[in-house]
Amino acid sequence: MRDFPSCFGENGIQVADSSSSGTTGKNAQNLVTCVYQCKLRGRLCLITVTWTKNLMGQGLSIGIDDSAHQCLCKVDIKPWLFSKRKGCKNLEVDSSKIDMYWDLTNAKFGAGPEPLEGFYLAVIFNGEMILLLGDLKREAYKKIDNDAERVRCSNSIFVAKREHIFGKKFYVAKAQFCDKGQTHDVAIECDTVGLNDPSLVIRIDSKPVMQVKRLKWKFRGNNTILVDGLPVEVFWDVHNWLFGNNNNMGNAVFMFQTSLSAEKLWSNQSVFDPSVLTRSYSQQIKDCQTQGLGFSLILYAWKNE
């Protein structure tokens, strides 16, 4: 289960990286991956939850990686099968017990694959709750164990999200730029059809926070905005939109990286040099995951035909 962490490695975030190659925009839109940081045996680990959607219905996979990105376990759940919309999975890994519980029977979904409400998903490690998602928390505790003292509160922190979005001119997503923070609407506006001088506009909750003019000269770059009083570094790469083959337009990539330390953002200017864009993505996410500083949102934006 190295899909999400490894995409920040040497080959990093690229317009045509392994997560999007060979995938059409319509298929790519139906994939959301969320990464949570937790402590297992006193060590930081990552829990990756991937929500998917296709013609057969919704599905999800859950994976746990240690601090060296070595997979501890991975479970694929297919809730569109009636018997799988509610259930549990019990595993034993290196003499440790991992239990996963889920109930998607009455889950409500929007346009994407991630449930909005009416569900729970819980991961238990040696009797300790390390992840609890959804609004049915009371039902989750009742299902997991009658001995409430044995199951402690979740210690996970939401650190990263990867999502595929789809549109012609407007691309929208929702994001929390810090763990348990306010949910914001993120809108990207970029019209590249028949324009000699296209521009890029990013809005947070309908308020313009960034504009890039002369986009053909600035198709890769970075800028800093403020959200909830925190600095958010925005990276973009729209090369494929402007110069891609008409038969294979490809996707643009946007990354929103928060940090609780503004000084850290500017401690190494070379990290934000667009000429080393892939390396900067990699360095920023590693800092976020190893030091618990902030949150990363990565959006793969696909154009409608």
Res. 82 pLDDT band, cuts 50 70 90: low
CA 148 to chain centre: 31
> In degrees to the nearest 10, what's the CA dihedral of 269, 270, 271, 273?
100
- Look at strands 115-117 and 200-204 and give their pairing: unpaired
Q: Mean of the pLDDT values across residues 262-269? A: 36
Q: What pTM did the predictor assign?
A: 0.77
CA angle 302, 187, 8 (to 5 degrees): 60
Q: HSE of 14 in the Cβ direction (CA atoms, 13 Å)?
A: 14
> In degrees to the nearest 10, what's the CA dihedral of 123, 124, 130, 136?
50
Name the nearest CA neighbour of 49 among 172, 184, 164, 158: 158
Q: Mean of the pLDDT values across residues 22-45? A: 74
Q: Which residue is it, tokens 């996970």?
A: 156
Count other Cβ atoms within 10 Å, centred on residue 208.
11
Instruction: List pLDDT tens digits, range 101-137.
Output: 999 999 998 878 899 899 999 999 888 889 999 999 8
Q: Which residue is it, tokens 């970075």?
A: 222
What pLDDT, on a 0 to 100 scale, did the predictor assign at position 281? 41
Q: Mean of the pLDDT values across residues 212-238? A: 91
List strand residue ranges (DSSP E) for 177-239, in order: 183-190, 200-204, 207-212, 220-227, 230-237
Contacts of 261 (CB under 8 A, 6+ apart): 293
Q: HSE of 92 in the Cβ direction (CA atoms, 13 Å)?
A: 1
Single-letter amino acid, residue 14: Q
Instruction: List pLDDT tens digits, range 155-197.
Output: 788 889 999 998 889 999 988 887 677 889 999 999 877 677 8
pLDDT at position 48 over 50: yes
What are the helix and strand counts (H, E) for the chain? 6, 19
Count other Cβ atoms within 10 Å, centred on residue 231.
20
Greater confidence, 174 or 270?
174
